[in-house]
Each structure stands twice: as C-alpha cells, then as structure tokens.
C-alpha cells in the first residue's frame, strides 16, 4: 500500500487534532469529525497514524546516550504537589556551572518526547530538568488521553509551583 504524504491531508484534519490535543474537543467529537475526512480509501485509522504523535520513532537522543548524565530525580514542592519526579540531564563532560533550562510539558505529562527535548537541551550545553506535573497523580500514564484527563484534575497554580520549586537548584 502506498504511504500517504502529510501534504496530501487537509489542514482541517491537523486543526481537528490541535483542538483535540488542547481539550477543545473530546475524543468522541474528534473521532466523529475525523471520520468525515476518511474518503477514497483513506481510513480513520490511517488519518490517526498521520496526526497522532509517535514518540518512540521520533526520539533523537536515546536515554543511554554516553554524552549525557541523565536520570530521574525527586524534589520537594511544598507549595505544589509535594514530591515531584523529573528528568535531570547534563553533558557528561561538563565542568563548572552551566545555564539551566526547565522543560515544561504540555497537557499530557512527561511524555517520551518531552524527555527527549530535555536530553537535547543537555547536549546543547545546558543542565535541563523536565518535571512531571502528573507525579502527585502517579505520573505520566503512558498515553495522551489519560494524561490530559489527569492533568485537568491538577490545580494550575500548584503545577506552576512544581516547576518553580526546583529552579534554584538547576
């Protein structure tokens, strides 16, 4: 079967996904509206394969990259969610102080993509911290739908405190 190019898909399909990803549509609405674009042998499943993120295949810096010191830490966020888990990464050969970056995730939690962004920042010469604001609820659940639902249960100001709480230590 011939692979479908993203350039052949209507921008409206990507706009639908954007609405879904940012909670302007629930999953049922998204699927119902997406099905209207499934025509001429193009299935809903193939459209989903084009618009949904594929974190594993897009990773640029592996977890075990020898150029990095990277691992999960826990830190205290007393005005936020309590104990927060995050990925701390830095160049393996770093000497002295480095600038720091906090990699803030979207409304899904600390996905493999966000972990990868943190590692890429470290390869660019930064100490990076990618906190998981879903830690108080068990952490990123492994899929975006559950992550979005979990994050909607967190208080926005508490999540901001979770990100601020570790800034001074980076």
Question: pLDDT for 152-164, tens place per residue?
Answer: 899 999 999 998 8
Cross-sheet strand order for the sheet of 127-131:
68-77, 82-91, 127-131, 100-102
Given pLDDT bands bounded at 50, 70 and 90, which one contains residue 42? confident
Residue 167: per-residue pLDDT: 72
Domains and CATH numbers, the chain: 6-52 (no CATH), 68-169 (3.40.50.1820)
Alpha helices in the chain (DSSP H): 11-21, 27-35, 44-51, 55-58, 112-123, 144-152, 156-164
pLDDT digits (tens, 9 = 90+) for 129-147: 999 999 999 999 988 888 8
Name, in order, each residue with C-beta under 8 angstroms of 149's C-beta and a sequence gap of 6 or more.
none
Q: Strand 82-91 relative to strand 100-102: parallel, antiparallel, unpaired?
A: unpaired
Query: Which of 50-54, 116-120, 124-128 has the weakest average pLDDT?
Result: 50-54
Asked if the model's pLDDT at residue 119 lies above 90, the reply is yes
Average pLDDT, the chain: 87
Q: How far is CA 9 from CA 1, 80, 119, 166, in A?
A: 17, 42, 32, 42
Q: Rounded CA gap, 21 and 108, in Å?
A: 9
pLDDT score recorded for residue 45: 82
The whole model's pTM is what?
0.74
Residue 50 exposure: Cα atoms within 13 Å on the Cβ side = 22
With CA atoms as reference, report the closest residue to 168 among 137, 139, 127, 140. 127
Whether 82 and 76 have beta carbons less than 8 Å apart is answered as yes
């Amino acid at each position: 079967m011939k692979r479908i190019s993203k350039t052949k898909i209507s921008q409206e399909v990507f706009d639908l996904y954007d609405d879904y990803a940012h909670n302007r549509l629930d999953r049922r609405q998204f699927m119902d509206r997406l099905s209207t674009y499934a025509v001429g042998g193009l299935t809903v499943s193939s459209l989903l394969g084009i618009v949904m993120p594929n974190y594993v295949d897009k990773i640029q810096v592996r977890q075990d990259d020898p150029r990095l010191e990277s691992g999960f830490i826990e830190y205290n966020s007393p005005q936020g969610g309590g104990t927060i888990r995050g990925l701390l990464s830095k160049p393996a050969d770093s000497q002295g102080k480095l600038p720091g970056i906090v990699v803030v995730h979207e409304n899904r939690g600390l996905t493999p993509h966000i972990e990868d962004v943190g590692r890429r920042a470290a390869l660019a010469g930064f100490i990076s911290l990618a906190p998981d604001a879903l830690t108080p609820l068990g952490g990123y659940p492994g899929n975006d739908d559950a992550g979005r639902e979990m994050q909607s249960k967190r208080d926005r100001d508490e999540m901001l405190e979770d990100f601020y709480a570790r800034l001074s230590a980076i």
